[in-house]
């Protein structure tokens, strides 16, 4: 596959994602504004108004209505996008289960923001982590480049016949959504549209030639089988994600996997992290390496379905692991990422120091020195054999 022509641009994450949407040219976008995702439909509606795409833009009165409109359009066979954050995503909650259960491959730009209360407009992952069991694919981005690239790839993944599952493309509010970064984007819309392919769902939808029922009643005799089938589609997304990433690499030169391993090949101390804080953590890793500490990092890209077996394999040689959560699970047993990683390690990788670290809630600043404290805790735990299983980073107790 020949490489596509690309240009270097300086855009915010929201404008980059809205531009990816415009280049794909979906059939329908329904959206309601909420900070910090508001700019996505704002930019996109201007693209529609200026004739840069032919999408039917549907302004609605709430996020519940936005996802409901998307569900109806997707059921009719349309290629459908929306965007939201925080309380808006929470208001979509019941409809997310319906979108996933009805196997409708719509895509949400999920701009991560803390859930209230108290009211907070800054970043953590409580909104999308709160929807992790809905059946949506979840892809997380570290920066503007990844947010743009993930959105384009998500369309291919969701619409694959073995998957047929909706997706959230998640990136950190304000940190990634509003910060302007240099990134590379396709210079021609045609290259994006050729990559994602035509929307071939119409004949398999409510508007197809054959009668079709979507949203049917499923009682005890079929519900369990339908959920099992739904899970299989979600699990299939793992392989499809890698296949699509391989094609994307051939087209752009940018490589993606289920996660990124940073200086992990010979690491003794590793952290597992999601989102923009990975950039800060990489700087900490480099500084520690310069001081002779064998630090490494594993950054999650695909959180649902969770690549547990592959993560266990990647971490098998380290001595100590800190799992970083930007969402409080309120169980007293660590955050969502911690519980998933620990369950993946169980029976596969033993005799490790494993700590859960809660950090960055409500946008609490995470510095290089903050991450270095985590590596210090790991080193001391290995040396002494004593450590706390769960800690809060940079908190006033």
Dump strand ranges (E) for 147-236. Answer: 167-172, 180-186
Task: Write the DSSP symbol of residue 326.
Answer: S
Give me the residues of the chain with pLDDT under 50, please. none
CATH architecture group of domain 259-392: 3-Layer(aba) Sandwich (3.40)
pLDDT digits (tens, 9 = 90+) for 15-56: 999 999 999 999 999 999 999 999 999 999 999 999 999 999
Q: What is the pLDDT of residue 206?
A: 86
Q: How far apart are CA 31 and CA 34, in angstroms?
A: 9
Q: What is the rounded distance in angstroms from the CA atom of residue 267 to the CA atom of residue 273?
A: 15
| The predicted structure's pLDDT at residue 226 | 96
The CATH classification of domain 6-252, taken from the options 1.10.1660.10, 3.40.50.300, 3.40.50.970, 3.40.50.1470: 3.40.50.970
**CA dist., res. 193 & res. 23, Å (int):** 7
- At 355, give phi and psi (nearest 5°): -120, 145
Instruction: Name the burial class of residue 202, with classes exposed (0-12), middle (13-18) and buried (19+) by CB atoms within 10 angstroms of its CB.
Output: middle
- Please state, rounded to an integer, the average pLDDT across all residues of the chain: 97
| pTM > 0.75 | yes
Instruction: Give the pLDDT of residue 202.
Output: 83
Q: What's residue 42's pLDDT?
A: 98
pLDDT at 381: 98
Domain ranges of the chain: 6-252, 259-392
**pLDDT for residue 208:** 81
Question: How many angstroms separate the Cα of 262 from the Cα of each of 28, 125, 160, 259, 323?
Answer: 38, 22, 30, 10, 15
Q: Please tell me the predicted confidence (pLDDT) of residue 203.
A: 82
Residues 320-351 have pLDDT tens digits of: 999 999 999 999 999 999 999 999 999 999 88
């Amino acid at each position: 596959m020949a490489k596509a022509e690309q240009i270097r641009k300086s855009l915010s994450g929201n404008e980059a994602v809205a531009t990816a949407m415009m280049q794909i040219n979906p059939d329908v976008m329904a959206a309601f504004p909420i900070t910090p995702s508001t700019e996505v439909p704002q930019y996109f509606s201007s693209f529609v108004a200026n004739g840069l795409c032919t999408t039917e833009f549907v302004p609605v009165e709430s996020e519940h209505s936005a996802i409901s409109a998307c569900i109806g359009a997707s059921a009719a066979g349309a290629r459908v996008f929306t965007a939201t954050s925080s309380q808006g995503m929470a208001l979509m909650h019941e409809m997310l289960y319906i979108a996933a259960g009805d196997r409708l491959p719509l895509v949400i730009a999920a701009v991560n923001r803390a859930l209230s209360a108290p009211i907070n407009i800054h970043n953590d992952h409580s909104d999308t982590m709160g929807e992790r069991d809905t059946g949506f694919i979840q892809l997380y981005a570290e920066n503007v480049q990844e947010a743009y690239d993930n959105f384009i790839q998500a369309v291919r993944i969701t619409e694959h016949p073995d998957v047929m599952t909706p997706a959230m493309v998640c990136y950190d509010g304000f940190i990634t959504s509003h910060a302007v970064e240099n990134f590379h984007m396709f210079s021609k819309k045609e290259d994006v549209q050729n990559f994602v392919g035509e929307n071939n769902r119409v004949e398999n939808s409510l508007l197809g030639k054959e009668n079709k029922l979507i949203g049917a009643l499923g009682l005890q005799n079929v519900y369990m089988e339908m959920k099992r089938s739904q899970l299989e589609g979600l699990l299939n997304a793992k392989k499809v994600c890698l296949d699509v990433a391989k094609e994307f690499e051939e087209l752009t030169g940018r490589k993606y996997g289920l996660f990124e391993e940073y200086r992990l090949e010979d690491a003794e101390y590793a952290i597992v992290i999601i989102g923009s804080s990975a950039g800060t953590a990489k700087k900490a890793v480099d500084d520690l390496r310069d001081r002779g500490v064998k630090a490494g990092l594993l950054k999650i890209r695909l959180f649902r379905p969770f690549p547990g077996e592959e993560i266990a394999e990647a971490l098998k040689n380290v001595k100590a692991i800190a799992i970083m959560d930007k969402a409080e699970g309120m169980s007293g047993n660590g955050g969502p990422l911690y519980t998933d990683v620990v369950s993946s390690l169980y029976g596969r990788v033993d005799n490790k120091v494993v700590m859960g670290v809660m950090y960055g809630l409500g946008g609490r600043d995470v510095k290089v020195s903050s991450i270095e404290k985590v590596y210090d805790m790991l080193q001391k735990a290995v040396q002494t054999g004593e450590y706390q299983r769960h800690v809060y980073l940079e908190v006033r107790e």
